Amino acid sequence: MAPKKTAKRAKPAKKATRKTAKRAPKKAAAKNVKYVYSFGKQTDGDATMRELLGGKGANLAEMAKIGLPVPPGFTITTDVCTYYYANGRTYPTTLQKEMEEAVAKMEKQMGTKFGATDGMPLLVAVRSGARDSMPGMMDTILNLGLNDASVEALTKATDNPRFAWDCYRRFIQMYGDVVLGVQKAEGEDVEPFEGVIEHYKHEVYGEDIIDSSLTAEDQQELVKRFKALVKERTGQGFPEDPWDQLRGAAGAVFGSWMNDRAIVYRQKYGIPSEWGTAVNVQAMVFGNTGETSGSGVAFTRNPANGANEFYGEFLVNAQGEDVVAGVRTPEPVAKLKDVMPKSYAELLKVRKKLEKHFRDVQDVEFTIQEGKLYMLQTRNGKRTAAAALKFAVDMVKEKLITWETAVLRNPADQLDQLLAPIFDTAEVKKAKVLSTGLPAGPGAAAGKIYFNAERAVDAAKKNEKVLLVRVETSPEDLRGMIAADGILTARGGVSSHAALVARQMGKVCVCGASALQINYDDKTLTVGKNVFHEGDFLSIDGTTGDVFAGKIETAPSEIIDGLINGKKTAQKTEKYESYMQLMEWCSKATRMDVRTNADTPEQTKNAIAFGASGIGLTRTEHMFFEGDRIDAMREMILADTLEDRQKALKKLLPYQRKDFAGIFRALKGLPATIRLLDPPLHEFLPHTKEQQMDLARTLDIKVEKIMQRVAELHEFNPMLGFRGCRLAICYPEIAEMQARAIFEAAAQVTKKGIPAKPEVMVPLVGFKKELDEQVAIIKRVAAEVEEKKGVKLDYTVGTMIEVPRGALTADQIAETAEFFSFGTNDLTQTTLGMSRDDTGSFLGAYQEKEILTANPFASIDQTGVGQLVKIAIEKGRATRPNIKLGICGEHGGDPASVKFCHNAGLSYVSCSPFRVPVARLAAAQAAILEKRAAKAAKKAAKKK
């Protein structure tokens, strides 16, 4: 009956309060600060004021400004939230007076009075509103202003006692829960208010009748019992004074900014806690007055697949929260055409106006009161990557946006959703459809089913593929949803909590699969005669809504199939064509190249299909592990004399040459940065006794010798040990062999008419002399090969910048190096003094305490590591103005890091093949944003 979005009462968040307190002025200058912004007939704010008014408040103001039917109200600014936490949860002294003035304006426009005991009372909704919407995190209170006297006035004014008491009953329930904290205690199964209702129904009707058949008298009695419950639980009476109610509700909204779930959400999306939330107070309009009223939510276009169709749902005779609560199953919004044709026509006009004004797809909330339409909210609609792509391409065609804007509208970190696998069509035909729900988050997922978030998280930790299966989800399930590969619910529509969150996280989701019967106690899922237990496999298709028994194999997406596999049918799909269009725009905008990290011809080919313009990093050590090469490698490591070492290296040379030739052929003339041997040698030796015995037999040497060498090579800090160029400083013959393999392969391929462009890269250089030594060898070998093969080689020699000393002495190093490639993995390790593989034990705590906002090995630490990069760029260019600069760490595929690289002036980033599209998009976006910023700056300068 009641909205599901009950919230835990905000725990006093001491930590956070202290933190905010430091930043905010102790007593904010109360005098000239405006804390309250009205909207309605007279509107103070607009859409640009998100920081101050929050997203909801700013857009309510904007809608009011462009003449849409918005019930009047006001927004209490985020400044008040900051003040509230900085001053021991108190308010600025001028706030009350400003609120009174704003309420007076509402009263005037509505012709009602706040707390009226005679005539129509003004009821208000108290709504939170952070800068960015945080689904399900904040708590809305409806029908505020009612008390024992004003409910009588409402009854009289509307001549509808059932409606009036229904409002009052809902209000006490919401307020009791959210503000007064009357909630399910440990061990209690039912929400206390729900318990009262259930008990009452059985007592009076002997069964669990539906809510809408409760009479006015029933509601009246429930109000009485609710109040008794509040008294019993809190020791205090329910507040009768509307102003007390209003202040209490606003306090609860500010308080909920620091509740556990809000904190978890902010952490996941990197929203700083000091932003704060605004509070919106708005005149109530009523969707629950009867059959000519209703409430709904809609997207101006389909946010799952991007289709240009009005998409959403509504409920007749309902207050807004009922729609998203998943209690009654709503009707598709198109049906409104039959039920309330006039309101529907008006809604369609609003749809058009909104898109034209905001130039983006909108997610709206509306209520119809006795045939009259009111808009309660609009925001840019959350969308899947597939929808984002189609919106962008379509809106360019419709001339609503430019192609540059279209590029910006595709979130780079979501793009890989488009590349995600789909179910194999042949497999799907064979599979058994158990049920079909609503397709709420596209893609294909197969996994073991888990019925609660905690167990889903545990299973995911064990690397299981997980489907979280719930009757419906609530914000408490957030952790489980993050851990799961797919989400399946039995109840709830396309705007339910599960659908909303899944779309945002890019999770596969099927919701409202009503044939599923879930028993949490037995941990079973029953569909007809089939019973599934926790841990059994199911497969869900979030594009069609189908739920299948068992595990279905997945197949590549059309984009992968078209690009990598060259499938003609895939290339004709709209998705493929739109993707290609987007990438064409990216090429047009970008300044940076995107290269790839690849060690094989196969990987190279894939990356080029994705648009890579070369290889930024080939790790040669990967080539030493295959087949019997590893034996030759080990022989080299175990050799006692230079002669023996050279003998072993000679065996390795043909392998390497072949590998390089394959890569050069796949590159068809694009450049390849090839890194000389980097890892510590002990990584190549066997460590178990058994393996050591095997090797001894193969090489025909004593096992003791191997054991001794393993012991010799043991290091306390291998990451900082005998590795990188240090290997070839001690054993120059290794560099010599590798250089020979590279150049002979290049010569071979060049002779066949394919240009080869090796860029030989020396790793882990901290001293110019280290590099000098290696370069001398490399150049000598190159000359020898040129002479012997009669080919002119097209090559360069450079280094990785991956230790701080290398960055700090980049001016010296650039005297020898023709290029720098920032090895940001090691540079992060050595700058932070943190071993990447050992951060597991403390990284969580660091992020929780916001010492680090992101994992520095995933997204570059711009302030620290970034500074070294900038220093190296500056110093490198001072010595060699045309020095080529790139990055080859994992960061090359992270959108924020790519943007950093663009702004730092690098000429390319390099990332794993399947991240190339993401990096291309991020690089293009960085270029467009830079251009826009420059334009804006120029305009601002002109104004001055």
Instruction: Give the residue with the Cβ less far from ligand ADP, 71 or 889.
Output: 71
Task: Please count the residues of this chain forming the interface with Mg ion, following the rule CB under 5 A.
Answer: 4
Q: Is 376 in the site for ligand ADP (CB under 6 A)?
A: yes
Q: Is 142 in the site for ligand ADP (CB under 6 A)?
A: yes
From residue 247, give the alpha-carbon distance in Å to each of 101, 242, 701: 15, 9, 84
Per CB under 6 A, which region of 138-146, 573-581, 725-733, 931-939 contacts ligand ADP?
A: 138-146
Instruction: Give the residue with the Cβ less far from ligand ADP, 60 or 632.
Output: 60
Instruction: Give the residue with the Cβ less far from ligand ADP, 282 or 604.
Output: 282
CB 135 to Mg ion: min, Å: 8
Instruction: Give the residue with the Cβ less far from ligand ADP, 173 or 828.
Output: 173
Q: What is the secondary structure of 214-230 as a DSSP string? A: --HHHHHHHHHHHHHHH
d(CA 374, CA 286): 10
d(CA 377, CA 133): 11
Q: Which residue is nearest to ligand ADP (CB)?
A: 320
- Per partner kind, with CB cut-offs from 5 to 8 A, the member of Mg ion, ligand ADP, none near residue 552 is none
CB–CB of 487/507 below 8 Å?
yes
Residue of 81, 167, 497, 891 with catalytic role = 497
Instruction: Give the residue with the Cβ less far from ligand ADP, 315 or 527.
Output: 315
Quick note: the x/- pattern for ligand ADP over 491-530, rule CB under 6 A, is ----------------------------------------
Query: And the tokens for 506?
Result: 């890019």
CB 229 to Mg ion: min, Å: 23
| Burial (0-12, 13-18, 19+ Cβ within 10 Å), 759 | buried
Q: H or E segment at 735?
A: helix 732-751
Q: What is the DSSP letter of 184?
A: P
Between helix 732-751 and helix 768-789 the angle, nearest 10°, is 40
d(CA 195, CA 858): 48
Instruction: Give the residue with the Cβ less far from ligand ADP, 285 or 361.
Output: 285
Per CB under 5 A, which region of 117-125, 146-154, 371-379, 560-568 contacts Mg ion?
A: 371-379
Residue of 511, 888, 901, 911 with catalytic role = 888
CB 318 to ligand ADP: min, Å: 9
Q: Is 295 in the site for ligand ADP (CB under 6 A)?
A: yes
**Residue 687 annotated in active site:** no
Task: Please count the residues of this chain forming the interface with ligand ADP, following the rule CB under 6 A.
Answer: 17
CB 178 to ligand ADP: min, Å: 12
Binding residue for ligand ADP, selected from 132, 321, 536, 715, defined by CB under 6 A:
321
Q: Is 365 in the site for ligand ADP (CB under 6 A)?
A: yes
Q: Is 140 in the site for Mg ion (CB under 5 A)?
A: yes
The phi-psi region of residue 76 (left if phi > 0; otherwise alpha if psi is between -120 and 50; otherwise beta) is: beta
**Residue 901 annotated in active site:** no
| Non-local CB neighbours of 932 within 8 Å, separated by 6+ positions | 404
Instruction: Give the residue with the Cβ less far from Mg ion, 275 or 660.
Output: 275
Query: Tokens 């990188």 label which residue?
Result: 724
Q: Is 313 in the site for ligand ADP (CB under 6 A)?
A: no
| Non-local CB neighbours of 491 within 8 Å, separated by 6+ positions | 326, 329, 471, 472, 511, 512, 514
Binding residue for ligand ADP, selected from 75, 87, 140, 489, defined by CB under 6 A:
140
Least Cα distance to 582 among 913, 931, 922 occurs for 922
From residue 76, give the alpha-carbon distance in Å to each of 83, 360, 581: 12, 27, 44
d(CA 438, CA 509): 8
Q: What is the secondary structure of 260-326 as a DSSP string? A: HHHHHHHHHHT--GGG-EEEEEEE---S-SSTT-EEEEEESS-TTT--SS-EEEEEES--THHHHHT
Q: What is the DSSP letter of 882?
A: T
Per CB under 6 A, which region of 279-287, 381-389, 547-555, 918-926 contacts ligand ADP?
A: 279-287
CB 152 to ligand ADP: min, Å: 21
Q: Is 256 in the site for ligand ADP (CB under 6 A)?
A: no
Binding residue for Mg ion, selected from 377, 496, 618, 809, defined by CB under 5 A:
377
Q: H or E segment at 268?
A: helix 260-269
CA atoms within 13 A on the CB side of 33: 17
Binding residue for ligand ADP, selected from 6, 277, 367, 613, defined by CB under 6 A:
367
Residues of this chain that bind Mg ion (CB under 5 A): 138, 140, 365, 377
Which residues sit at the interface with ligand ADP, rule CB under 6 A? 71, 125, 127, 138, 140, 142, 282-285, 295, 320-321, 365, 367, 376-377
Active site residues: 497, 888
